[in-house]
């Protein structure tokens, strides 16, 4: 029996290490994509939405959430993982802080849908990813309006310029996920 317990313990340790590596890898991918910026004011336009959605789809609810929380924690403690190399608590209360919360919600939704089997074909994976991408906006726009003032053109700053790019990124995440999972099923 001691050999069986040792084998189970090694298996659990290996599984924990694998999950930890996946969560950190997802966070690193999101951090790297945050550095690819097109426009900066007042909300940066980055590539982040693509890996946020892909992490949720690929890792599922629990591990995808862990990956996003790892990313958030890294930025909170001062690692320059946010857009433009920003870091620290001020980012969370700034104009783009609500979008960071929206990333967590989007990845969690995509992971939740994947865990329920709603992403088994390309169309469904793309639809889940588009919905996930849309879930970034409510908290993002709410905080943006609160920070810059509702008398400013909040939708013009934080929604309209992002729609087409985010739609393309969502389609890439959903269809890319479907293609990869299809190739592994063969």
Three-state SS string over 5-63 comes to HHHHHHHHHHHHHHHHHHHHHHHHHHHHHHCCEEECCCCCEECCHHHHHHHHHHHHHHH
What are the structural domains, with CATH classification, of the chain?
A: 2-185 (1.10.1760.20)
According to the model, what pLDDT value does residue 186 have?
64
According to the model, what pLDDT value does residue 3 have?
61
According to the model, what pLDDT value does residue 38 have?
85
According to the model, what pLDDT value does residue 67 have?
98
User: pLDDT by residue (tens digit) across 69-114?
Assistant: 999 999 999 999 999 999 999 999 999 999 999 999 999 999 999 9
Confidence band (pLDDT; 50, 70, 90) for 10?
Answer: confident
Q: Please state the rounded mean pLDDT for residues 31-59.
A: 92
Confidence band (pLDDT; 50, 70, 90) for 2?
Answer: low
């Amino acid at each position: 029996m001691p050999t069986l317990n040792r084998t189970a313990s090694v298996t659990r340790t290996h599984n924990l290490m694998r999950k930890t590596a996946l969560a950190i890898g997802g966070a690193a991918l999101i951090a790297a994509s945050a550095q690819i910026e097109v426009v900066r004011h007042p909300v940066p336009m980055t590539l982040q939405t693509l890996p946020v959605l892909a992490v949720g789809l690929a890792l599922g609810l629990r591990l995808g959430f862990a990956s996003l929380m790892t990313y958030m924690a890294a930025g909170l403690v001062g690692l320059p993982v946010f857009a433009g190399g920003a870091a620290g608590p001020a980012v969370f209360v700034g104009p783009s802080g609500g979008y960071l919360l929206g990333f967590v919600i989007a990845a969690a939704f995509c992971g939740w849908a994947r865990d329920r089997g709603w992403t088994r074909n390309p169309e469904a994976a793309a639809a889940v990813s588009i919905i996930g991408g849309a879930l970034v906006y409510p908290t993002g726009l709410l905080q943006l309006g609160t920070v810059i003032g509702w008398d400013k053109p909040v939708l013009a700053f934080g929604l309209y310029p992002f729609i087409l790019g985010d739609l393309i990124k969502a389609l890439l995440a959903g269809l890319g996920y479907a293609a990869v999972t299809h190739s592994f099923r063969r």
